[in-house]
């Protein structure tokens, strides 16, 4: 096991965390993903962009898998599903998107959690693992994140893993069909890490 690192011992490479792991989405994940998203729709709707009408169809999922693979190959975005290690249960998803290289070396963190698994610490552990992956394995200097001012759990998560509040952006993203203000956060590879988050080596 590669704790908080990339684990190549599984059939597909994974990012290992404490009791959780992240890996790229595959077609075989469709049924479990669609079920979790459907049962979490009311829970997720206030925090996400509008869902397309065909969002939960197999065809739409196939395009999602293809798009994620192409974006990773182009070094533009890295999207992962989040699994609970004890039973390989899909519990959510996470991405390091809008990757900018050159003088920036930055990316934007995004995540979602299925309602049955919210508030149990899975995403905190996943974000810690993803930060280590971004800084150590992708060579990023800065990882940004944003959340709605009313999304208290997300704000607390970001602060808990070491993000710093940097600003307030008006009408920053279209969420549930409306342009919404967001709190802006960021972490640098040189920032101090709270306990449980490895430093870059």
What CATH number is associated with residue 124?
3.40.630.30
Asked, for residue 146, whether it belongs to a domain, the answer is: no
Asked, for residue 173, whether it belongs to a domain, the answer is: no
Asked, for residue 66, whether it belongs to a domain, the answer is: yes
Asked, for residue 27, whether it belongs to a domain, the answer is: yes
Asked, for residue 191, whether it belongs to a domain, the answer is: no
Domain that holds residue 111: 6-140
User: So what's the pLDDT on residue 13?
Assistant: 77
pTM for the model stands at 0.90
Instruction: Indicate if the pLDDT at residue 67 is higher than 80.
Output: yes
Asked, for residue 96, whether it belongs to a domain, the answer is: yes
Instruction: Report residue 157 as tokens.
Output: 């998560």
| Per-residue pLDDT tens digits for 70-119 | 999 999 999 999 999 999 999 999 999 999 999 999 999 999 999 999 99
Total domains present in the chain: 1
User: So what's the pLDDT on residue 61?
Assistant: 97
Asked, for residue 151, whether it belongs to a domain, the answer is: no
Residue 194's pLDDT band (cuts 50, 70, 90): confident
Asked, for residue 34, whether it belongs to a domain, the answer is: yes
């Amino acid at each position: 096991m590669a704790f908080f690192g990339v684990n190549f011992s599984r059939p597909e490479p994974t990012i290992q965390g404490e009791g959780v792991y992240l890996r790229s989405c595959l077609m075989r994940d469709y049924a479990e993903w669609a079920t979790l998203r459907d049962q979490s729709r009311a829970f997720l709707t206030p925090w996400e962009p509008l869902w397309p009408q065909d969002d939960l169809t197999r065809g739409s999922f196939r395009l999602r898998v293809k798009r994620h693979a192409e974006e990773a190959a182009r070094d533009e975005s890295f999207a992962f599903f989040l699994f609970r290690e004890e039973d390989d249960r899909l519990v959510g998803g996470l991405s390091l998107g809008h990757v900018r290289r050159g003088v920036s070396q930055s990316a934007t963190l995004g995540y979602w959690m299925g309602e049955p698994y919210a508030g149990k610490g899975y995403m905190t552990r996943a974000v810690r693992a993803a930060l280590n992956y971004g800084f150590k394995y992708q060579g990023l200097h800065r990882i940004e994140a944003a959340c709605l001012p009313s999304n208290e759990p997300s704000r607390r998560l970001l602060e808990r893993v070491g993000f710093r509040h940097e600003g307030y952006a008006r009408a920053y993203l279209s969420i549930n069909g409306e342009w919404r203000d967001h709190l802006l956060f960021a972490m640098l590879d040189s920032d101090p890490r709270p306990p449980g988050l490895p430093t870059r080596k």
